Amino acid sequence: MQLQPNSTSNSTPIPISESQRNKIPHVLTVAGSDSGSGAGIQADLKTCAARRVYCSTVITAVTAQNTLGVQGVNMVPEDFVAQQLTSVLSDMNVDVVKTGMLPSLNMVKVLCQSLRKFPVKALVVDPVMVSTSGDILAGPSVLAGFREELLPMADIVTPNVKEASALLGDMPMKSVSDMRTAAKLLHDLGPRNVLVKGGDLPNSSDAIDVFFDGQEFYELSSPRVNTRNTHGTGCTLASCIAAELAKGSSMLSAVKIAKRFVESALDYSRDLVIGNGAQGPFDHFLAFKNISQSSCRQDRFNPNDLFLYAVTDSRMNSKWGRSIAEAVKAAVEGGATIVQLREKDVETQDFVDAAKVCLEICRSYGVPLLINDRIDVALACDADGVHIGQSDMSARLARTLLGPEKVIGVSCKTPEQAHQAWIDGADYIGSGGVYPTNTKANNRTIGLDGLREVCKASKLPVVAIGGIGMSNAGAVMKLGVPSLKGVAVVSALFDRECILTETRNLHAVISEAALLPQ
């Protein structure tokens, strides 16, 4: 039955002044519906909700699908897709448009027309052609539409290797080097940025994606999560990029955040069982549920952030003649996943000023920044949290002062201290000294055995610290206790000539060790 629009549908809008507007970042997804809710419109809605971004929807097709595959596809008439686009774009202050399944050439044309009429801040194109189950979702005629009309308008296009190959006339894609070539060739078609996703690349232990912004190539790698629940990862990644762009992130930062979001959702959902088929959906919200169960009280903290924890040292920076900000920038560029400013000799106002600059750097990379000891400095610069020790303010009091959103880490040498940190509302613990260190005076070494004991007892994620560097980080990561999430390092990064190289090398070592069987 076709319903006619009622007479109020075109009524005059009520004027709202700029100051009355309570703006929320807004993504419009133009995609197909997945009845199993793993991918498509449903994945986009869940992703945007998880990232706290408003999501409106233009539905291009309705699919009947489940974990076994796609049983049917019903296209929405093109003129009705155009009508949905006009309804949303003409009225709802969309920041970013993200596209998924566009099943006909005319649909691509209709979308491009609407975007020319109602320009938005950014266009994210996920060139969906084949479902993860192998079913065709867009025919060859759509390829021409992508190449000639949509890609030239895109701020980023996010093909997997099969889609990149199809867009480039069946170019062979067997290696990261092929992905780089493809990224360059796709960029020549007009999009401002290209992300070629290497998850399907054969013989690769990591999920390596190649990002190209027209000037620089970035290889973004994350450990492959061993799970059947990967249906909808492409839609989720693209809509998370769109959500972060809508919030104002730079493109590289949006891509990094999105990659980490997908990685942690897959990790948390690895054992979820929905459906009987080969490929299941994952839970976009499970990460938050687990975090709150384990007392990680804020959604910006992901335990995987502890993977490579860079802790600064003012004396080392003075020795090498660099500013705190220079040191932090080099570490995050090298792959540090979280940073702590441990500046024992800096005047308070200088500390606050430097922390603000570092915070900007870290935010642009999607990396959290914590302050050592100084709750006042953390509050003054609105850092992401603090790290405190047994002789500092209690975690309970820090939590009261900082509120539920900030990250709190506590140093613990014993299972009892780890238990207390959990009771007090900490988010993670730092445990050491794993090895002897010159960085912290009179520090008791607990060794790998002491670390194992703390990790086994801890309900919170743990990062190991103390004397860790290239020669022994692998041994720490191979401890194989699930709560151990990474290594925290001072001198092996900051008491070196080139922080960037040292961070890169250490990242490679711990990534390899984390993948090896225990």
Ligand X SMILES: Cc1nc(C(=O)O)sc1CCOP(=O)(O)O
Ligand Y SMILES: Cc1ncc(COP(=O)(O)OP(=O)(O)O)c(N)n1
Residue positions annotated with a catalytic role: 197, 230, 232-235
With CB under 6 A as the contact rule, which of the stretches 188-196, 225-233, 374-382, 465-473 interacts with ligand X?
465-473
| Beta carbon of residue 513, minimum distance to ligand Y (angstroms, whole number) | 19
Question: Can residue 308 be called a binding residue for ligand Y (CB under 6 A)?
Answer: no
Candidates 159, 198, 280, 409: give the one binding ligand Y (CB under 6 A).
Answer: 409
Site for ligand X in 371-400 (CB under 6 A): none
Nearer to ligand X, 364 or 472 (CB): 472
Question: Can residue 392 be called a binding residue for Mg ion (CB under 5 A)?
Answer: yes
Do 337 and 367 touch, CB atoms closer than 8 A? yes
Candidates 243, 489, 506, 510: give the one binding ligand X (CB under 6 A).
Answer: 489
- Cis bond before residue 433 (omega within 30° of 0): yes
Site for ligand Y in 467-506 (CB under 6 A): 488
Instruction: Compute the distance between CA of residue 293 and CA of residue 300 in angstroms, rounded to an integer.
Output: 15
Question: Can residue 100 be called a binding residue for ligand X (CB under 6 A)?
Answer: no
Nearer to ligand Y, 117 or 315 (CB): 315
13 membership: H or E segment, kind and range: none
Question: Can residue 443 be called a binding residue for ligand X (CB under 6 A)?
Answer: yes
With CB under 6 A as the contact rule, which of the stretches 7-15, 161-169, 324-332, 459-467 interacts with ligand X?
459-467
**For the chain, how many residues are written?**
518
Q: Which two three-digit tokens encode residue 477?
A: 């990561």
- The DSSP bridge pattern shows strands 193-197 and 70-75 to be unpaired
Nearer to ligand X, 309 or 365 (CB): 309
Query: Within 13 A of 102's CA, how many CA atoms are on the CB side?
Result: 26
- What SS3 string covers 130-191? ECCCCCECCCHHHHHHHHHHHHHHCCEECCEHHHHHHHCCCCCCCCHHHHHHHHHHHHHCCC
Do 393 and 376 touch, CB atoms closer than 8 A? no
Question: Can residue 466 be called a binding residue for ligand X (CB under 6 A)?
Answer: yes
Question: Can residue 372 be called a binding residue for ligand Y (CB under 6 A)?
Answer: yes
| Beta carbon of residue 387, minimum distance to ligand Y (angstroms, whole number) | 5
Nearer to Mg ion, 305 or 343 (CB): 343
- What SS3 string covers 45-91? HHHHHHCCCEEEEEEEEEEEECCCCEEEEEECCHHHHHHHHHHHHCC
| Beta carbon of residue 341, minimum distance to Mg ion (angstroms, whole number) | 12
Candidates 125, 468, 476, 479: give the one binding ligand X (CB under 6 A).
Answer: 468
User: Comparing C-alpha atoms, which of 287, 284, 332 is closest to residue 310?
Assistant: 332
Site for Mg ion in 355-374 (CB under 5 A): 373
With CB under 6 A as the contact rule, which of the stretches 189-197, 384-392, 448-456, 496-504 interacts with ligand Y?
384-392
Question: Can residue 312 be called a binding residue for ligand X (CB under 6 A)?
Answer: no
The DSSP 8-state label assigned to residue 231 in this structure reads B
Question: Can residue 465 be called a binding residue for ligand X (CB under 6 A)?
Answer: yes
Question: Can residue 387 be called a binding residue for ligand Y (CB under 6 A)?
Answer: yes
Burial of 184 (0-12, 13-18, 19+ CB in 10 A): middle
Q: Which two three-digit tokens encode residue 242?
A: 């769109």
Question: Can residue 432 be called a binding residue for ligand X (CB under 6 A)?
Answer: yes
Question: Can residue 392 be called a binding residue for ligand Y (CB under 6 A)?
Answer: yes
SS3 content of the chain, % helix, strand, coil (to 5): 40, 20, 40
Question: Can residue 309 be called a binding residue for ligand Y (CB under 6 A)?
Answer: yes
Output 5-14 pairs: Cβ under 8 A, ≥24 positions apart: 13/91
Nearer to ligand X, 129 or 492 (CB): 492
Candidates 234, 433, 450, 486: give the one binding ligand X (CB under 6 A).
Answer: 433
- Provide the binding-site residues for ligand X, judged by CB under 6 A: 311, 411, 430, 432-433, 437, 439-440, 443, 465-468, 489-492
